[in-house]
């Protein structure tokens, strides 16, 4: 395929309030902190849409932003990235979504999300966005389950492959109601929530994937295992793909980068194992930088990383 792969992301957009802390305060404790804080563009959907564009795809984003300072700042940023923003609705009633992110010295993060305008995304918005004729639909579960189901069904009825990042975990999400997916990708915590099995070792990864296959009709299940890389299962075979040794600055947005890179590279090559290695490389760059969206690499940066580290894709 000579033209760029067009990926429609229907999902969330937030402004992230990132706080670097030594530790979390105890109940009732007021703690003075010398670390830095910042407002950074984020949201799982927005991170993925930006990743698709930076990694060489044609990114179309369907979302709702508040008609406020944060919303206008975010939309202008997406435009500057080159993303197709025709299907972003500026909501006059609900504020732009906000994520409060606590980043500890280890790079581990804890996130509280205020959905705001993300809850206003409608089936009408989704129907309109399908006019872009995408090669694939990419989503997360940071928007309402009914909206995820509606978008997946719209895409499936048009023969558009659906890629679902299973984050954040929602124990009540009706996985069985999803149409057939091309890919379903939870992280470790989400795997535990949806399968009841902690993917702490290869044996448990296989058991978890088999359990998930009973709930989700997906061509591939790809477990995101953080510093251990990823685990790919197609119903018959599995592949354990280790990640790369990099200093961990901040894990925020790394999973979004991984799934976007995996989706795009799989669509470009048709090789899920190759795509998994490529996604591991992109996510490794992401965790070595601070912030969600600022940490997302470009295609050139991934190529340089692969070359420098002697990665065989």
For the record, the structure tokens of 13 come out as 């957009």
- Secondary structure letter of residue 187 according to DSSP: B
Which helix (H) or strand (E) segment holds residue 52: the answer is helix 44-54
Among 57-71, 212-226, 244-258, 272-286, name the one with the lowest average pLDDT: 244-258
Q: Is 90 exceeded by the pLDDT of residue 254? A: yes
Domain annotation covers residue 28: no
Between CA 43 and CA 49, with CA 47 as vertex, the angle to 5 degrees is 120
Domain count, the chain: 1
Q: Is 70 exceeded by the pLDDT of residue 298? A: yes
pLDDT of residue 46: 96
Distance of CA 59 to the CA centre of its chain: 14
Pairing of strands 97-103, 181-185: unpaired
Domain annotation covers residue 1: no
pLDDT of residue 291: 79
Q: Is 70 exceeded by the pLDDT of residue 1? A: no
Round to whole Å and give the CA distance between 302 and 282: 6
CB atoms closer than 10 angstroms to residue 23: 10
**For residue range 153-201, what is the model confidence (pLDDT) as tens digits?**
999 999 999 999 999 999 999 999 999 999 999 999 999 999 999 999 9
Percent of the chain with pLDDT over 90: 80
Domain annotation covers residue 27: no
pTM for this structure? Answer: 0.91
Task: Using alpha carbons, list the distances in angstroms from residue 303 to 50, 89, 126, 153, 298.
Answer: 18, 35, 34, 35, 9
**For residue range 57-115, what is the model confidence (pLDDT) as tens digits?**
999 999 999 999 999 999 999 999 999 999 999 999 999 999 898 888 887 888 888 99
Q: Is 60 exceeded by the pLDDT of residue 270? A: yes
Pairing of strands 238-241, 230-233: antiparallel
Sorting pLDDT into bands at 50, 70 and 90, what band is 32? confident
Domain annotation covers residue 30: no
Domain annotation covers residue 243: yes
Could you tell me which residue, 20 or 199, shows the higher pLDDT? Answer: 199
Q: Average per-residue pLDDT in the chain?
A: 94
CATH assignment at residue 277 = 3.40.1190.20
**Residue range(s) defining the domain that contains residue 147:** 6-22+36-308
pLDDT of residue 160: 98
Which helix (H) or strand (E) segment holds residue 162: the answer is strand 162-165
Domain annotation covers residue 31: no
Could you tell me which residue, 34 or 130, shows the higher pLDDT? Answer: 130
Domain annotation covers residue 174: yes
Domain annotation covers residue 185: yes
């Amino acid at each position: 395929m000579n033209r760029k792969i067009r990926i429609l992301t229907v999902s969330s957009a937030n402004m992230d309030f990132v706080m670097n802390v030594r530790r979390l305060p105890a109940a009732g404790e007021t703690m003075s902190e010398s670390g830095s804080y910042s407002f950074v563009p984020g949201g799982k959907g927005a991170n993925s849409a930006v990743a698709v564009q930076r990694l060489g795809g044609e990114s179309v984003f369907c979302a709702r932003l508040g008609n406020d300072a944060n919303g206008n700042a975010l939309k202008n940023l997406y435009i500057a990235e080159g993303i197709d923003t025709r299907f972003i609705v500026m909501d006059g009633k609900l504020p732009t979504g906000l994520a409060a992110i606590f980043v500890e010295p280890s790079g581990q993060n804890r996130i509280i999300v205020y959905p705001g305008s993300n809850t206003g995304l409608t089936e009408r918005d989704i129907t309109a966005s399908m006019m872009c004729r995408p090669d694939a639909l990419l989503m997360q579960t940071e928007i309402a389950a009914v909206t995820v189901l509606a978008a997946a069904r719209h895409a499936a009825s048009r023969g558009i492959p659906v890629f679902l990042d299973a984050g954040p975990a929602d124990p009540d999400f009706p996985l069985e109601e999803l149409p057939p997916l091309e890919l379903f990708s939870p992280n470790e915590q989400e795997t535990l929530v949806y399968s009841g099995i902690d993917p702490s070792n290869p044996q448990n990864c296989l058991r978890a994937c088999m359990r998930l296959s009973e709930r989700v009709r997906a061509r591939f299940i790809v477990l995101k295992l953080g510093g251990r890389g990823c685990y790919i299962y197609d119903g018959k075979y599995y592949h354990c793909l280790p990640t790369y040794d990099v200093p961990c600055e901040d894990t925020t947005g790394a999973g979004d980068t991984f799934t976007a890179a995996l989706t795009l590279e799989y669509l470009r090559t048709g090789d899920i194992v190759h795509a998994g290695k490529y996604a591991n490389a992109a996510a490794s760059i992401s965790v070595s930088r601070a912030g969600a969206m600022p940490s997302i690499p470009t295609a050139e940066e991934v190529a340089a990383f692969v070359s420098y580290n002697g990665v065989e894709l």
